[in-house]
Amino acid sequence: MIEDVSRYLIDIPIKEDLPGKNHGQLLTYASDRQFPGLNYHAQIRWITALPENIPENKAVVSDSDRIILYWGNNYKEPEFLGAEIEFCLDGHSLVFSRATAVFVPGGVSHGPAIWKNYETPHVEMVISLNSGNLDNLIDADKAPQTRHISDPEKYIVRKPAYEVVAPTPTKNRMHPSMTFISNDLIPGVDTYLEFSWIWGMPDPDPHIMEHVHDDSNELVFHIGSDPDNPEDLGAEIEIYLGGKPVMIKKTSALYAPMRIKHGPLKWKSYSRPHIEMAVIFGAGVLAQSDPGGHQKTMGE
């Protein structure tokens, strides 16, 4: 039972300015500093100009699996990125110019990301699994040993799956949503990540009802689209967690532990496009993860 439901909503980020021109500001929206005991860590940063290449950008290694996700700022063309990026995974170059996800197994060196060109603002998001902090993140050249993978291309998702559908299509919202991480896209991964753009008041509203994940924890992100004011969500949303209401007014992360009912969600106001993202841990396929509880509803 949840007594203080407000602590499960993280809407005040930890901020860190990065060295180098145009590297942006890191905004941490999930960590064990913000929610003691949380075993996940998530940061976002907006890129609003071409980042310069600097010596401080080196390959790193973490004991934890990590998801690194890039997407653009055009809800009408959601796979458009607005840049060309070269990302190094286990020393191999991966180049992409569309919305893309990279799954980094623990112990594998990764980075740096090098921008080859820039067109429009876009987002980089990094999620660490099985750790609520970055204490285990070190420079690759200081790691006592690193893990190697045979085919780095198998760990990049260049094209999302479109498989999460609601029983009733919702106006002013992507339908279906974009899945960027799953066991189907990257075999062996037991995390499911999908997100949708919302570009108006959803109809019907609510369209995500109360549901529960019996064996999986979830982080639900609501992310605004203003690169000059990334904390501005562009909406007010009421969500229930454990039967108690929480009001989402800013870019945020909501932690929904396994076996805790959450939903419904109801949009109270709308002012600009924004993203709703679900990350379900320990459930790598749609039938297990069931974001929004839609699959169970349709199966009843």
| Structural domain containing residue 252 | 171-299
The residue from 106, 124, 157 where one domain ends is 157
Q: Give yes or no: residues 27 and 130 share one domain.
A: yes
**Residue 172 and residue 132: Cα distance in Å, rounded?**
34
In a domain, 2, yes or no: no
Domain count of the chain?
2
The residue from 115, 130, 157 where one domain ends is 157
| Mean pLDDT for the stretch of residues 8-30 | 96
- pLDDT-based confidence at 57, cuts 50/70/90? confident
The residue from 129, 157, 185 where one domain ends is 157
Q: How many CA atoms lie within 13 A of 35 on its CB side?
A: 28
**Residue 10 and residue 196: Cα distance in Å, rounded?**
20
What value does the mean pLDDT of the chain take? 95
Q: Give yes or no: residues 264 and 229 share one domain.
A: yes
In a domain, 165, yes or no: no
Q: Give yes or no: residues 186 and 292 share one domain.
A: yes
The residues near 164 (Cβ < 8 Å, ≥ 6 apart) are 176, 177, 179, 194, 286, 291, 292, 294
The residues near 14 (Cβ < 8 Å, ≥ 6 apart) are 27, 28, 31, 33, 34
In a domain, 191, yes or no: yes
The residues near 133 (Cβ < 8 Å, ≥ 6 apart) are 31, 32, 33, 41
Which tokens is 223 given? 């992310």
- List, edge to edge, every strand of the sheet that includes 244-250: 244-250, 232-241, 262-270
**Residue 288 and residue 296: Cα distance in Å, rounded?**
10
Residue 223 has pLDDT above 80, yes or no: yes
Q: Give yes or no: residues 179 and 290 share one domain.
A: yes
In a domain, 258, yes or no: yes
* CATH number of the structural domain spanning residue 256: 2.60.120.10
In a domain, 51, yes or no: yes
Q: Give yes or no: residues 134 and 53 share one domain.
A: yes
- List, edge to edge, every strand of the sheet that includes 66-72: 14-17, 25-30, 40-47, 122-129, 66-72, 100-104, 156-157
Give the pLDDT score at 1. Answer: 66
Q: Give yes or no: residues 147 and 27 share one domain.
A: yes
Work out the number of other CB atoms within 10 angstroms of the CB of residue 187: 9
Segment 124-168, tens digit of pLDDT = 999 999 999 999 999 999 998 899 999 999 999 999 999 999 888
Segment 59-107, tens digit of pLDDT = 999 999 999 999 999 999 999 999 999 999 999 999 999 999 999 999 9
Q: Which residues of 60-78 are buried (b: 16+ CB within 10 A; e: fewer)?
A: bbbebbbbbbbbbbbbeeb
In a domain, 21, yes or no: yes
**Residue 106 and residue 71: Cα distance in Å, rounded?**
23
Q: Give yes or no: residues 238 and 126 share one domain.
A: no
Q: What percent of the chain has pLDDT over 90?
A: 90
